[in-house]
Chain A
Amino acid sequence: MVAGVGACHDPRVPSSVLIVDDHASFRAMARAVLADGGYTVVGEAADAESALAAVSELRPDCVLLDVQLGDVDGFALADGLGEVEDAPAVVLTSGRDRRDFEPLIRASGARGFIPKERLSAAALGELLQ
């Protein structure tokens, strides 16, 4: 699976992001951080179903996706997002240790992984280049 070639190449150029996470507090903070760094956060979703709906409706350039949405597997959702038409770039995130997911991250079509506490516009921009 190959992630779509999103348009969010340059963090200085405003590009649109969808935040998918089941924790409302993280969605709010991530929105503030990314907006502060010049991204347009076009929407938030808390589960797989609304994430897919939001992607087809809002057509974001990239999706910031938690690898565990409650009991739903974020990697499976990443695969699903890669199959939609004009697929957005997917960047994975988690509060858990990256090493727990390393093989899954490699196997996914995502652009990369950002630990939640290290999320910043710059970190996202680096992965999207």
Chain B
Amino acid sequence: VSFAVAPVATPPRARVFTAVVIAAAVGAAAAGTVALAHGAARDQTTTLAAVTLLAALSFVGSGLVAWRRRPQVWTGALMVAAGFCLFAGSLANFDSAVPFTIGLVVSPVAAAVIGHLVLSFPEGRLHSPLECVVVAGAYVVTIPLQVVMLMFMGFEHVTGCPCPSNLLFVRDEMAVHSTIMTTQRLLGIALAVAAGAIVVRRWQHASAPLRRALAPILLTGGVTILLLLGTLLAAQASTRARIVEAGDTERRRLERNLHDGAQQRLVSLALALGLAESKVEQEPTAAVALLQSAREELTEALGELRELARGIHPAVLTERGLPYALQALAERAPVEVELDLQLDRRPPAALEAAAYYVVAEALANVAKYAKATTARVRVKMDDQRLVVEVADDGVGGADPSGGSELRGLDDRVQAFGGSLRVRSRPGEGTRVLAELPVQP
């Protein structure tokens, strides 16, 4: 096998086609760069997004060269296709529904096309029924499964969003989209392993010239797989890091509150008592005034300590359960709270605490920002999930991705494998919806 097939004179039609493809690739790269420069890359690092754009350009470029040299072989065409699928990934960074949706649908196809490319190299056709199954499987996972998944996936709770509309969206079904995502992941891993095994076998049986021909394409495939794995691992690591960080931030906040609150009051109290002691004989009136202020400081300090203790863990929750604890929360809230609890048994303790904090944090946000008059809290549990919803009739317009409070809640909910969604259009109030899976 060799590349030394000299091209016959290129017909003008092919030349026009080549020019169009090059123009499209350069345009896509430029648009991708603009999208990157304008907004952060959604759910991936800017460096990775930039590397992807470069990889896409090089796929299109080398694909065109291969295509011109051997137009009867599919390899070149597949490389160009892989390049454009990679470009499509950056479309998801645009703030407009059409490119966003195209990006979501097309970007995973790159992995399937690259798999197809690697397995069909160098003749441009697949060598065995097994290879056909693997490639067909890859296309099924990345195209129809992806489309169905997107139909049932709400994007409000996705990292990196608010996003433009997903035009395929029908309704939000967490069970459906999470099942499909898991299936995609498992099938993807199985197919990648199968493809890897096929390639290793072929390498073992290959002659020296075939190995030389295979080397560059295997390298490309390997690097792509490593990049994909790297992205997946980085995303997982960042969630874990955020959970640890959230714990640290919480402890720091507690220390600060203790130090600035109760501790300062007790310091003042100690100084006031000392002063009163020194004045009690000569200036009894002043001493009494000091004692009075000392008692006030003490009352304040006790109140602050109680608030803090409840913030660490509400004792009523452990002792009396969610309905009672939520009742107490509702009564303390500055707005009228309507409670609708449908619990036929007590949820596991950790889940109960998570639900409590979702309601507590959401109601605190209602008090702070919403300018609402009433809030509605709904908690419902069936065999699969615990659903917590807090909706208010306030001004809305909360940024679902911003705000450390919402982020902290999101991390807490995600730690349970659940999802948190916030809908807060200006003028329509805010609705926070958490779904927590119930482990059997």
| Chain B residue with Cβ nearest A37 | B278
Would A96 and B259 count as touching, CB distance under 8 A? yes
A57 to B250, CA, bound (A): 41
A29 pairs with B271, CB closer than 8 A:
yes
Chain B 263-289, CB-CB to A under 8 Å as 1, else 0, gives 111111011101100110000000000
How far apart are the CA atoms of A117 and B266 in the complex, in Å? 8
A29 touches B265 (CB 8 A): no
Chain B min CB distance to A83 (Å) = 29
User: Does B260 have its Cβ within 8 Å of any Cβ on chain A?
Assistant: yes
Q: Are A25 and B264 in contact (CB under 8 A)?
A: yes
- Structural contact, A26 and B266, CB atoms closer than 8 A: no
Task: Report if A119 contacts B (CB, 8 A).
Answer: yes
Q: Do B275 and A33 have beta carbons less than 8 Å apart?
A: yes
Interchain CB contact under 8 A, A120 and B274? yes
Instruction: Indicate if the CB atoms of B267 and A117 lie closer than 8 Å.
Output: yes
B259–A95 contact, CB under 8 A? yes
Main secondary structure of the interface of A (DSSP, over half): helix
- B272 x A29 contact (CB < 8 A): yes
| Known A95-B259, A96-B259, A117-B270; contact A23-B264, beta-carbon cutoff 8 A | yes
Interface size class of A (residues with CB under 8 A): 10 to 19
| Interface residues as binary, A24-61 with B (CB distance below 8 Å gives 1, 0 otherwise) | 01100110110010000000000000000000000000
Cβ proximity bits A76-116 to B, threshold 8 Å, 1 near / 0 not: 00000000000000000001100000000000000000001
Q: CB within 8 A of B279: which of A36, A117, A119?
A: A36
Tell me, in angstroms, the Cα distance from A29 to B266 when the chains sit together.
12
In the bound assembly, the distance between CA atoms of A95 and B267 in angstroms comes to: 7
Count chain B CB atoms within 10 A of each CB in A25, A30, A117 and give the residue with the most. Answer: A117
In the bound assembly, the distance between CA atoms of A119 and B268 in angstroms comes to: 10
A36 to chain B: which residues have CB within 8 Å? Answer: 275, 278-279
- Name the CB-closest residue of A to B255: A96
Q: How far is the CB of B307 from the nearest CB of chain A, in Å? A: 18
A45 CB to nearest chain B CB (Å): 17
- The listed residue (A26, A118, A120) touching B268 by CB distance below 8 A is A26
Closest Cβ of chain A to B272, distance in Å, is 6
Residues of A with C-beta under 8 A to B259? 95-96
12 A–B pairs (Cβ distance < 8 Å), ordered by A = A25-B264, A30-B271, A32-B275, A33-B274, A36-B275, A95-B259, A95-B263, A95-B267, A96-B259, A116-B267, A117-B266, A117-B271
Which residues of A are interface residues toward B (Cβ below 8 A)? 23, 25-26, 29-30, 32-33, 36, 95-96, 116-120
The 10 closest A-B pairs by CB, nearest first: A117-B270, A29-B271, A116-B267, A29-B268, A117-B267, A95-B263, A25-B268, A33-B271, A95-B267, A23-B264
